[in-house]
Amino acid sequence: MDYQFKEIEQKWQKFWAQNQTFKAETDSAKPKFYVLDMFPYPSGAGLHVGHPLGYIASDIFSRYKRLKGFNVLHPMGYDSFGLPAEQYAIQTGQHPAVTTEANINTYRKQLDGIGFSFDWSREVRTSDPEYYKWTQWIFMQLFNSWYNLETDRAEDISTLIEKFNAAGTADVKAVCDEDTLNFMPSDWATMTEEERQEELLKYRLTFLKESTVNWCAALGTVLANDEVKDGFSERGGHPVEQKKMMQWSMRISAYAERLLQGLNTIDWPEPVKEIQRNWIGKSIGASVRFAIEPSAEITELSQDYIEVFTTRVDTIFGVSYLVLAPEHELVAQVTTVAQQNDINNYIAQTKKKSELDRMADVKTVSGAFTGSYVINPVSGERIQLWIADYVLAGYGTGAVMGVPSGDQRDWLFARHFNLPIVQILDAQQDIENQADATKEGKYINSGFINGMNYAAATETLNAWLEEKEVGKAKINYRMRDAIFGRQRYWGEPIPVYFKDGLPYLIKEEELPLMLPEIDKYLPTETGEPPLARAEGWKYEDQYEYEMSTMPGWAGSSWYWYRYMDAKNDSDFASKDAIAYWKDVDLYIGGSEHATGHLLYSRFWNKFLKDLGYVKEEEPFKKLINQGMIQGRTNFVYRVIDEEGRSTNKLVSHGLKKDYKTSALRVDVNIVDNEILDIAKFKLFRPEFVDAEFILENGKYICGVEVEKMSKSYFNVVNPDILIESYGADTLRMYEMFLGPLEQSKPWNTNGIEGVFKFLRKFWRLFHNDAMTFHVNDSVPSKAELKALHKIIKKVQDDVERFSFNTSVSGFMIAVNELTDLKCKNRQILEDLVIILSPYAPHVCEELWSLLGHEEGSLSYTPYPTFNPAHLVEDEFSYPISVNGKTRLNLSISLTWEPKEIEELVLANEDVQKYLDGKAPKKVIVVKGRIVNVVL
RNA sequence: GCUCAGAUGGUGGAACUGGUAGACACGCAGGACUUAAAAUCCUGUGACCUUAAAAGUCGUGCGGGUUCGAUUCCCGCUCUGAGUACCA
């Protein structure tokens, strides 16, 4: 029988499911290996050919590791809370749980069709109460913790209370809100319960605080910074504005330094690490206080100084003005009557500018003088205080010192508003025409640091500022605390209720706090989140629950631990399971999660480690980003007549330059190798039933462009169709064959036939001309062993370095060689089946059982051992260059010593001819092989 | 603007640490089988110059450099993709 992929694949998929072939046991004598995929959000559209790319790679790796004797954990689940299901629910009234369930079933069917070796007994779904119970539990641990800078880790809030009792805030070094009180133990003792709770909230790692948030009116919710792209929501592209709101946040800033340092310990793609480094945005500098000059006009000041952050404290003698962000809280207080109009106009003008305009308009210099002055603490100089929108309220202190000679932006500002430009380093050049940011040379015009170099000046100034208590060296991070609440329905309820306006956790044994049923999924008329619609939903029948739910990243920030022990109902995972599986050895997924999921997961992992629940500081040892598969859109060209109307005439791509045309996207599934199937096209576009086609060589050739894969571009390729016509094994190998895993590439089906032919050829190796199974037990020939061991080595090397595309080529070569050798040898073919099985598991299982082995035993059979001896040849021919140019081929025996070869090569007639009697200058030998003779 | 990645035949891409560039596949051309087509199999396929054949010259975005030898390393440039951006 010829290669019947359909029967074979169905048979083995059923077998694996029934026998739970890939169920991983926690107590194993084998070494563990944890291979994780980023679990999908089950969208209504199902999988397209781009989705499984990473899954196929991880599956190959998992199967390979099993053959290599590892106990492999390779689970899958669904990130099933999220906006699309809720948007759909708002439109249709269908409960998100219902649509989510339906989508999951579609996904499962599609995934099963590709033959993955997932351990489905460990499946997780973030929207399952048995799962989100533990997401809520982690939230409670965060609420009950504070970050102690002395021990540099999170601790239970009780240790903070002990400190308050013992010595008040005196020896508390914590990451906390800025408005914490300083108090004595006696003060703490006299505080009411409410006052204490209010104070503790400023230290908790999840906390409620009035903060500026990204509010998206269209979605009716706040968004985290990483969910906003260029002033629009990442999902849906709706406008986002800044708004002050009472919000739950996570104190991720406490972990900024550890998140940064940890990057050096993990094997991740450099771009992702770089993105995280930028996101954390560490800058080393100093904060300096400039006293506001007292004046009769400014009477009510909440503070009498302005604090700036600078990375170049050494330039402080060159400061010629100070700038506040227009949103800075002191602006109203320091503006003089005379300048009131200017300032008001400027603020109004800034507000009108959208976020996008403000970014596009970086060239224009703008600002307004407040009328007030500040005093430079080091020089005592009186300098003007301005506002300008190039200063961002959200970064640093929202105030900067302007040093025109050292910073181009400050230079432009000074030039525009006629402010002084002072040279501060003798090495600065041409500061009449532009700023010079050099750190070279000695300081001039700089008071007590005159004559010093950069390092000495910085050190001196920092010490001076600290001593005078007007500033100090400071490290600033760009990363903000993560907003945690979402005004949405389809997410984890936050396990909190309110008493006297203060939040309290529900009891642990009351978890999970179930998502209540509501009639509509919209916010209430009064603008409260959808959960406010839940009738009678009160804690102990009297206290209001928190109405917002958790963001999408909550459930995905710890899910890899749940897979370790997915059914546990007394812990998020048992201590034994965590001790055994430890961390993820290989994580494959897209790089688009760099500042979201991948950062939050590291944060929660570090937190759980601080509390002793998990073992490892970093959750994902190695990360691989699979490239995105783009769509390849096909176009047909409609001829436009002289009046500019589109006609019913379609011209082939190669001839379109002779006509005026308009392009029209056409379904890629009716185009083969850019040749349009005209009959199917007429069905696809019935308005072209009578269309005329201008052909080239009798064919209609379509145009091509690479675009995002999307339904509306008619360029979506569904894996099911390919599995139907070629089988899952072909699809798996073809997706790998397409190119390097990490590279983005457009999908095209042009080469899939080649992979299919390969699998059929492989199948035929085991069959005689009548297509009945046939192998023999002869002794393998030298040539056969060579072909086999070449591929064993190649695939092993390729898999270890994630170069799956090249090993597919390797298999093709091996099968071609063995076909040419008419190899029917059982031993050779068995080994070949084993090494191919991670790539094409179905056909290999079938052949394995035809070879007489127990069904299903293939997945755990030891990988064949590579023996280099089989690759050694008795005699081979290789070229020798003379002066770097290829000149001659010589036959050499490998048994010869290098010295011996050298002598023989030099004695060779042809070499002699080139040498022309002279001795060679140099003979270059690489790995015992002469490659070049230099005359 | 900054950071990172990349540029190899008609196409996707190989070449792992500098050592026969273009593996493997697609496409194309020719051939076999066939009444014919499809399918299958075989042969050829970087460019140039020649030839009966062999050989030769050029060739990995562009210009330089290091080296006996460079797709690979270094310097400068062009282009493409990704990330990021008044970050003080």
Phi, psi of A370 (to 5 degrees): -85, -20
Q: Which of residues 225-254 of A touch strand B (CB under 7 A)?
A: 229
Distance A742 CA to B5 C1' (A): 11
- CB of A926 within 7 Å of some strand B atom: yes
Which nucleotide lies closest to A410 by the C1' atom and the CA atom?
B88
Q: In sequence order, what are the residues at sequence separation of 6 or more whose Cβ sits closer than 8 angstroms to the Cβ of residue A512? A: A129, A130, A132, A133, A136
Contacts by residues A266-272 (CB-CB < 8 Å, ≥ 24 positions apart): A266/A618, A266/A620, A266/A621, A266/A622, A266/A623, A267/A621, A267/A622, A267/A623, A268/A620, A268/A622, A268/A623, A269/A591, A269/A623, A269/A624, A269/A625, A269/A742, A271/A591, A271/A594, A271/A625, A272/A591, A272/A594, A272/A598, A272/A623, A272/A625
ipTM of the complex as predicted: 0.93
With a cut of 50, which residues of chain A have pLDDT below it?
none
Distance A906 CA to B53 C1' (A): 29
**Nearest residue to B86 (CA, C1')?**
A390
- CB of A274 within 7 Å of some strand B atom: yes
- Rounded CA-CA distance A437/A407 in Å is 6
Q: Which nucleotides of B are covered by protein (CB under 7 A)?
A: 3-5, 11-16, 19-21, 23-28, 40-41, 56-57, 68-70, 81-88
Query: Residue A472: helix, strand or coil by DSSP?
Result: strand
Q: Compute the radius of gyration of chain A from its Cα atoms.
A: 35
Distance A885 CA to B54 C1' (A): 18
- Rounded CA-CA distance A706/A831 in Å is 41
Q: What is the dihedral sign for C-alpha A653, A658, A663, A666?
A: negative
DSSP for A187-240 reads HHHHS-HHHHHHHHHTTBSEEEEEEEEEEETTTTEEE-GGGEETTEETTT--B-
Instruction: Please tell me the number of Cα atoms within 13 Å of A475 on its side-chain side.
Output: 8
**Nearest residue to B24 (CA, C1')?**
A809
Which nucleotide lies closest to A812 by the C1' atom and the CA atom?
B24
Structure tokens at A928: 């015992």
- CB of A159 within 7 Å of some strand B atom: no
- CB of A809 within 7 Å of some strand B atom: yes
Q: What is the dihedral sign for C-alpha A22, A27, A28, A31?
A: positive
Distance A41 CA to B22 C1' (A): 42
Distance A914 CA to B52 C1' (A): 28
Peptide bond before A740: cis, by omega within 30 degrees of 0? no
**Nearest residue to B20 (CA, C1')?**
A879
Q: What is the pLDDT of residue A355?
A: 54
Query: Residue A375: helix, strand or coil by DSSP?
Result: strand
Distance A738 CA to B62 C1' (A): 29
Distance A881 CA to B20 C1' (A): 9
Distance A747 CA to B13 C1' (A): 14
First vs last C-alpha separation in chain A? 62
Which nucleotide lies closest to A889 by the C1' atom and the CA atom?
B20
Q: In sequence order, what are the residues at sequence separation of 6 or more whose Cβ sits closer than 8 angstroms to the Cβ of residue A584? A: A34, A35, A36, A560, A619, A620, A621
Q: In sequence order, what are the residues at sequence separation of 6 or more whose Cβ sits closer than 8 angstroms to the Cβ of residue A710? A: A631, A716
How far apart, in Å, are the Cα atoms of A683 and each of A646, A657, A680, A698?
20, 27, 5, 20
pLDDT in tens, A551-605: 989 999 999 999 999 999 999 999 999 999 999 999 999 888 888 899 999 999 9
Which nucleotide lies closest to A934 by the C1' atom and the CA atom?
B68
Distance A584 CA to B76 C1' (A): 44
**Nearest residue to B4 (CA, C1')?**
A271
Number of helices and strands (H, E) in chain A? 29, 36
Q: What is the pLDDT of residue A646?
A: 78
- CB of A101 within 7 Å of some strand B atom: no
Q: Are A619 and A601 in contact (CB under 8 A)?
A: yes
Give the number of other CB atoms < 10 A from CB of residue A116. 24
Q: Which of residues 698-727 of A touch strand B (CB under 7 A)?
A: none
- CB of A356 within 7 Å of some strand B atom: no
- Rounded CA-CA distance A253/A271 in Å is 22
Cα–Cα–Cα angle for A871, A874, A875, rounded to 5 degrees: 110
Distance A934 CA to B66 C1' (A): 18
- Rounded CA-CA distance A513/A497 in Å is 11
- CB of A413 within 7 Å of some strand B atom: no
Distance A21 CA to B82 C1' (A): 40
Q: Are A211 and A251 in contact (CB under 8 A)?
A: no
- CB of A406 within 7 Å of some strand B atom: no
- CB of A46 within 7 Å of some strand B atom: no
Distance A841 CA to B17 C1' (A): 33
Distance A926 CA to B64 C1' (A): 29
Q: Are A788 and A852 in contact (CB under 8 A)?
A: no
Q: What is the pLDDT of residue A714?
A: 81
pLDDT in tens, A333-368: 888 888 889 898 888 887 766 555 555 556 678 889
- Rounded CA-CA distance A393/A387 in Å is 11
- For A525-569, what is the HEC assignment? CCCCCHHHHCCCCEECCCEEECCCECCCHHHHCCHHHHHHCCCCC
Q: Which of residues 282-321 of A touch strand B (CB under 7 A)?
A: 283, 285, 309-312
Q: Which of residues 743-772 of A touch strand B (CB under 7 A)?
A: 743-745, 750-751, 753-755, 757-758, 761
Which nucleotide lies closest to A810 by the C1' atom and the CA atom?
B24
**Nearest residue to B12 (CA, C1')?**
A738
Distance A755 CA to B60 C1' (A): 27
Instruction: Please tell me the number of Cα atoms within 13 Å of A297 on its side-chain side.
Output: 15
Distance A745 CA to B71 C1' (A): 21
- CB of A68 within 7 Å of some strand B atom: no
Which nucleotide lies closest to A739 by the C1' atom and the CA atom?
B13
Which nucleotide lies closest to A754 by the C1' atom and the CA atom?
B25
Q: What is the pLDDT of residue A358?
A: 56
- CB of A884 within 7 Å of some strand B atom: yes
Distance A757 CA to B25 C1' (A): 11
Q: Which of residues 420-459 of A touch strand B (CB under 7 A)?
A: none
Instruction: Write the Ramachandran bin of A107: left for phi over 0, alpha for psi from -120 to 50, otherwise beta.
Output: alpha
- CB of A140 within 7 Å of some strand B atom: no
- CB of A281 within 7 Å of some strand B atom: yes
Distance A494 CA to B72 C1' (A): 55
Which nucleotide lies closest to A758 by the C1' atom and the CA atom?
B25
A272, burial (CB in 10 Å: exposed 0-12, middle 13-18, buried 19+): buried
